[in-house]
Amino acid sequence: MKNYFLKTIAIFSFLIVITSCDSDDEPEVLVPSVTSETTIGSVEANYTTIKINGNVSSDGGSEITARGVCWSTNPNPTIADNKTTETSNTFISTVSNLTANTTYYFRVYATNSVGTGYATEQSFATSSLDATTWDFLLIHDATTSWHADVTFNADGTTVYDEPSSPGTFLTNGTWSLNGNILTYDMDSSSTNTSYQFTGTLLNNTMSGTYTFGTDPDKTWNATKY
């Protein structure tokens, strides 16, 4: 009986050792590793969108369940903030609906069964209207329209000039931007009876309506030179 008891203990101990060794041999699962090659020199950004590339370099030993780019106007964005969702482990995310002349913080992310891994934080800014010139198309009615070059100076002033008649209708005005909504007054004089524009920036274009006196609102659109 004593020998049987000792043999039982020996076998049980052996099984514990074997089980422990098997457990130790299982690879550790880690959060994914991710990177971005987007730089200040290569970033594609305009007034309302920024493109960020991403690469999942390691799945950490577990299937990737989500990946993309998260962003915020504050540092250290997480997936609890805004984010894109991509289907490939190598991707370019187009981050849309941004506000002009604003700095954003970005991190590429990937998630597996253990958690979420983040790439090094990057910051990029959307474009500013300061010191830019745009080709405006003013649509008066079904048969009448014309082009004008409008320069938006950094001090909030503007210069309006029609390329078909340079200097003939040259006018100084003012502009302001609230988010992506432009307000542009062609004439800044105290007796202003000139055109007043309201419009929305989208990528590298903008469009909206303009008024002149008591006339009904008319439409305009513009592209950046």
Q: What is the CA radius of gyration of the chain?
A: 30
- Which residues of the chain fall below pLDDT 70? 1-26, 190, 192-193
pTM over the 0.85 mark: no
CA 147 to CA 139: how far, in whole Å? Answer: 9
Amino acid making up residue 133 = T
CA 178 to CA 157: how far, in whole Å? Answer: 15
Give ranges for CATH 2.40.128.120 in the chain: 132-224
Collect all residues with Cβ–Cβ distance below 8 Å to 178 and sequence separation of at least 6.
none
Which DSSP string corresponds to the chain? -HHHHHHHHHHHHHHHHHHHHHHHHSPPP---EEE----TTT-EE-SS-EEEEEEEEE-TTS---EEEEEEESSSS--TTSEE---SSSEEEEEE-SPPTT-EEEEEEEEE-SS-EEEPPPEEEE----TTEEEEEEEE-SSS-EEEEEEEE-TTSEEEEE-TTSTTTT-EEEEEEEETTEEEEES--STT--S-EEEEEEETTEEEEEEE-TTSPPEEEEEEE-
What CATH number labels 33-125?
2.60.40.10
Pick the CATH number of 132-224 from 3.20.20.70, 3.30.70.20, 2.40.128.120, 3.30.1360.120: 2.40.128.120
State the pLDDT at residue 109: 98
Find out whether 131 and 150 touch, Cβ atoms under 8 Å: no
Find out whether 139 and 218 touch, Cβ atoms under 8 Å: yes
Q: What is the pLDDT of residues 113-141, one digit of tens each?
A: 999 999 999 999 999 999 999 999 999 99
State the pLDDT at residue 3: 52
Q: What is the pLDDT of residues 131-171, one digit of tens each?
A: 999 999 999 999 999 999 999 999 999 999 999 999 999 99
Give ranges for CATH 2.60.40.10 in the chain: 33-125
- Residue reference for tokens 């964005």: 77
Q: Kindly report the CA angle at 83 between 78 and 87, in degrees rounded to 5? A: 115
